[in-house]
Amino acid sequence: MTVHQQLFMNGTWRTPAGPGLIDVESASTQETIGRVPEGSPDDVDAAAEAASCAFESWSQTTPQERADWLDKIAAELEVRAPDIAKTIAQEVGSPLSMATSIQAGLPVMVTKSYAQLARTFQFEESIGNSLILREPAGIVGAITPWNYPLHQIMAKVAPALAAGCTVILKPSEIAPLNAFLLAEVCESIGLPPGVVNIVSGYGTVVGEAIATHPLVDMVSFTGSLRAGRRVMALASDTIKKVTLELGGKSANVILEDAPLEKAVGVGVKNAMLNSGQTCSAWTRMIVPRARQDEVVDIAVKTLQSLKVGDPMDASSRLGPLISGPQRARVESYIQTGKREGARLVAGGSRPAEFVRGYYVQPTLFADVQSTMTIAQEEIFGPVLSILPYDSENEAISIANDTIYGLAGGVWSADADRAMQVARRIRAGQVDINGGRYNPLAPFGGYKQSGVGRELGKYGLEEYFQVKSLAR
């Protein structure tokens, strides 16, 4: 068991203000696998002072210097990738194969991308008689989730550092151990004191202290819609800049001429990635009514090919949910779907073979109407809804019929037609015929899916203030 009794701030390990520790539980065994400090507002004060002191010098470093530091972080994260993957597989329940390629691999990729951007980005430009400067926003409070913990951390920390900001990070209390690995990386490479400070703790305590702290200039939050509303409200008292990456109820629109086997197979796997605990998951499959039975057959076969198992088993493709409360939430939605008249065609209960761990069978509903709860609310579990439509316009209307607008997909044998449909979907990111992941493309949502963007140059721009010098 890994026990951390100190917090990382000002370049060293510091005893927290209070004695409390938070237990970290394995999602697959329900055993306590670690403990981290239960941070307090006093610890946030100390971290803010450290970040403030460091900002004066860090903000004056050159982009090249900051890029070099990011390269060092990326290199050390890459060396530690096996430990990171194993840690997150235990904390979150992500199968080890997925934890290796995504949970440990993406943070390295993202950090390298920001090192490159720091070297090539245009920090200054002339417009008429004015010199326009992009200057660091200041001290950034980064509040991150548990589902892709280190990836979400580096999607905030890397651009903040590239821009010249200093950071106070609050990782999720459910999956915080990977953040302490990052602290060890910062210490081992000799990152200047106060540039990255990590305070573990509960969102209602540490998160709210960050959102209200007078020294914090900007808050970047990823998490639930409810918590995002709270962060935005708290930050408004001091008029902080806020970026939010919140929920999703993403639509996968399959047009009648689409290659059905591929579209459905890829769509099911997308919806089930990380046991459905993915904000951008295509949880609504919108299909031609006349082909719904074919879609269901393909979807069921695809689900049957995804082995549910121990995350540490190399053959497992789906692991458990993160916690008991999360499993209860998902099970409640499954019951609601049945009660409201959706047709359960696969899954719907707990796998009998697992005595321990927060497992739920991958679940498929058909004949789902857009007014149903399971078609409107983010479930955040391995539950896919199939919604039939009768016309292209109706398919687009269904796709846009939620409070969210994070991501989605469109499939057609005619790529131009798919592109035209994608243009009409109100979402921040739409994949055409299974478009490949692009770490340089902006990620973020319309409507209540959030404010602002992450990744690439658009993510970097969130961490600037813009100054005009007239000549």
Q: What does the alpha-carbon distance between residue 254 and residue 357 come to, in Å, rounded to a whole number? A: 35
> Nearest 10 degrees: CA dihedral of 82, 87, 93, 99?
-30
> Nearest 10 degrees: CA dihedral of 179, 180, 186, 189?
-130
Exactly one of 76, 279, 331, 378 is catalytic; which is it?
279
- Alpha-carbon Rg for the chain, nearest whole angstrom, is 22
Q: What does the alpha-carbon distance between residue 243 and residue 137 come to, in Å, rounded to a whole number? A: 12
Q: What does the alpha-carbon distance between residue 156 and residue 114 come to, in Å, rounded to a whole number? A: 10
Q: What does the alpha-carbon distance between residue 285 and residue 39 come to, in Å, rounded to a whole number? A: 42
Phi and psi at 412, nearest 5°, equal -160, 150
Tell me, yes or no, if 245 is annotated catalytic: yes
Tell me, yes or no, if 186 is annotated catalytic: no
Would you state the structure tokens that stand for residue 463, as one six-digit string?
């961490």
Q: What does the alpha-carbon distance between residue 322 and residue 309 come to, in Å, rounded to a whole number? A: 14
Exactly one of 38, 245, 331, 378 is catalytic; which is it?
245
Which residues in 234-320 belong to E strands, given as ranges? 241-245, 251-254, 284-288
Residue spans of alpha helices (H) in 305-414: 324-339, 373-376, 392-399
Strands of the 124-127 sheet, one edge to the other = 124-127, 130-136, 464-470
- Angle among Cα 9, 11, 13 to the nearest 5 degrees reads 60
Q: Which secondary structure element, helix H or strand E, spans residue 232, and what is its range?
A: helix 225-236
Residue the block writes with tokens 């992941």: 437
Active site residues: 245, 279
